[in-house]
Structure 1
Amino acid sequence: MKRFYKTASAGPAEGGFQVLLDGRAVRTPAKAPLLLPAKDLAERIAAEWEAQGEKIEPGAMPFMSLASTGIDRVTPQREAVIDQIAAYGGSDLVCYRAEEPEELVHRQMAAWQPLLDWAEARFDARLTVTAGIMPAAQPEGALRALRLAVAEYDDLVLSGLYQLTTGFGSLIIALAVVEGRVDVETGTGLAQLDELFQEERWGGDSEASARRANIASNMADAARFVALCRV
């Protein structure tokens, strides 16, 4: 789509803030009002629109995409989205540990176990750790507690949490980032621990590095989006 506006700005709206293109309120792809909870978030999305060139590139507007997802996709199917996010607790990355080599075993223990201890203290969710790749059934009480924790967030935050959870492959790491237990750069490193360990031992390649960098960028956007939702 060609750029059809001259200027983008943010302004107040009934119940929140909005993004304006030549003074007209932006709507989501599903034509819903783009009503935002914080001025800083509206200004960030307005900056994405302002930065567009002659053609509009939706892929260059991650904050607009996350906000639209929250409004168009999370709101009408909130319970289903909560279920999808919470389901990661049943097979969370940090619960599956290597049996060897010893150095990796120690790294996983040192990096991941504090997060599981935090999740137990914070959410009353004690997850089971297993060695190898065979599935381990998690306690129903822990899974219920994690779902209740996810359900506490509003629709826009759930949009960011969904991106973090799927990107990390771990609900626990995603919650730790959203709750401020770790920053997003640390969270990304925790999620990529195994891959980075293998690269140390055997060397890496440009394709894998580019993929990790792309994931890191997406995770940083999602974490910043969540933070702006709460300003």
Structure 2
Amino acid sequence: MWRSCLRLRGGGRHLLNCPRGGLTASEGPGPKPPARARAYAPPAERKRFYQNVSITQGEGGFEINLDHRKLRTPQAKLFTVPSEALAVAVATEWDSQQDTIKAYTMHLTTLCNTSLDNPTQRGKDQLIQAAAKFLDTDTVCYRVEEPETLVELQRNEWDPVIGWAERRYGVKIGSSTSIMGPSIPARTREVLVSHLASYNTWALQGIEFVVSQLKSMVLTLGLIDLHLTVEQAVLLSRLEETFQIQKWGNVEWAHDYEVWDLRARTAAGALFVHLCSESSAVKHKLLQGRHGFEPWSGKIPHAAEQLSPCATTIEPAL
């Protein structure tokens, strides 16, 4: 419960400082204070400037072409991905854009940009530690002491997932009602870190992304291992919020948007992990490119509708 309060504190302070309506009884006819600048502005959208999306295989992997221009990362590196399946998925993101390019709807592109540019200059060990640190604050390990209905809800919904993880990896995780959280045994941390080390660097970028969305290593492992669906993982990560919404009511459109956005991000991250871990080629044909590939007519379901902002540059046409 206290974690929900912490999350709401910043937003609550903002709401308390805002006027509830237009002109109030205490406002006089004199000059009004200057309006505050908006803290957030939606990312700018660009008009779609390309007709066709294709993928070709180069020396470093699979490349994305928008008409005859090669996609590049924000740092102007050639946008090259290691697997055919991932290339097809990214191409689908670009092909699904309509009149304008909504970069914030392309999580897979963003994750690829992060992996290629590595703006924080992190290696494999740093990525593993960044994901493993969530063990100390795992959502499903923090429990409330009241009300009894929420205590029972957490026990019924979260205990089976923890039990699965303990059996799956042969470790002890447990839970706690202490504000300090559960005490994770050193062996548990070693086993899970060793498991994460079995993934390549690209997949680890996706794992850390999913963990940061769900705020839970346990739920992320369940999702990546296909023990949980995206919908189940998101619902379990928002158990307390859902309980409060059922008790106090739903904020029109806001809560629904938050859920769908979280599902989209989580789905994209999980898909990214699997596509980066996939060694076999997809069955779809590649779009025709300068290397002579056959036209690609297949579609991979778009993993996310609401996605992170990303900045991507295009190589100028020759």
SS at match of 2:72: coil
CA contact (8 A) 1:75 1:155 kept: no
Code of the residue aligned with 1:42 in structure 2: it is A
Is residue 97–residue 130 contact of structure 1 (8 Å, CA) maintained in 2? yes
1:20 aligns with 2:65: yes
Number of the residue aligned with 2:238: 192
Contact 2:203 2:276 in 1 (8 A): yes
SS of 2:80's equivalent in the other structure is coil
Q: For residues 75 and 119 of structure 1, what CA distance do their matches in structure 2 show? A: 31
1:67 aligns with 2:112: yes
Query: Structure 2 CA distance, aligned partners of 1:16 and 1:131?
Result: 49
On the 8 A contact 1:99/1:132 being kept in 2, the answer is: no
In the TM superposition, what are the counterparts of 1:140-155 in structure 2 within 5 Å? 140-155=186-201
| 1:196-230: CA deviation from partner (whole Å, max 9, x where unpaired) | 11212222212233222221221122222223334
Q: Which residue of 2 aligns with 1:99?
A: 145
Given that 1:62 and 1:221 are in contact with CA atoms closer than 8 Å, whether structure 2 keeps it comes out as yes
**Which consecutive residues of structure 1, in runs of 5 or more, have no partner in the other structure?**
none
* Correspondence for 1:90 among 124, 128, 136: 136
Cα separation, partners in 2 of 1:208 and 1:52, compared to 1, 3 Å: closer
Larger radius of gyration: 2
Across the aligned residues of Structure 1 and Structure 2, the Cα RMSD in angstroms comes to 2.3
The structure in which a higher percent of residues are helix is: 1
* Partner residue, 1:34: 79
**Structure 1 ranges of 4+ moved more than 6 A:** none
1:59: Cα distance to partner?
1.2
Would the aligned equivalents of 1:28 and 1:68 in 2 still touch at CA under 8 Å? Answer: yes
CA contact 2:141–2:181 (8 Å) conserved in 1: no
- 3 and 200 in structure 1: CA distance in 2 versus 1, 3 angstrom threshold: closer
Aligned partner of residue 227 in structure 2, secondary structure: coil
The one-letter code of the counterpart of 1:128 is G
Q: 1:96 Cα deviation (Å)? A: 0.9
CA distance in 2, matches of 1:102, 1:127: 23
Whose RCO is larger (CA < 8 A, sep 6+)? 2
| Structure 2 match to 1:214 | 261
Q: TM-score, normalised by structure 1?
A: 0.88
CA distance in 1, matches of 2:257, 2:50: 34
Would the aligned equivalents of 1:165 and 1:174 in 2 still touch at CA under 8 Å? yes
1:7 matched to 2:52: yes
Matches within 5 A, 1:51-66: 51-53=96-98, 56-66=101-111
Q: Secondary structure at the match of 1:77?
A: coil
The answer for the alignment partner of 2:272 in structure 1 is: 225
Paired position in structure 1 for 2:220: 174
Identical-residue share of aligned pairs (%): 32
**Separation (CA, whole Å) in 1 of partners of 2:176 and 2:105:** 40
Question: Aligned ranges for residues 119-158 of structure 1 at < 5 Å?
Answer: 119-158=165-204
Provide the C-alpha distance between the structure 2 equivalents of 1:193 and 1:6, rounded to a whole number of angstroms: 44
Contact 1:89 1:146 in 2 (8 A): no
Contact 2:169 2:191 in 1 (8 A): yes
- Aligned-residue offset at 1:128: 3.2
Task: Between 118-127 and 91-100, report the one with greater CA deviation.
Answer: 118-127
- CA distance in structure 1 between the partners assigned to 2:200 and 2:51 by the alignment: 33
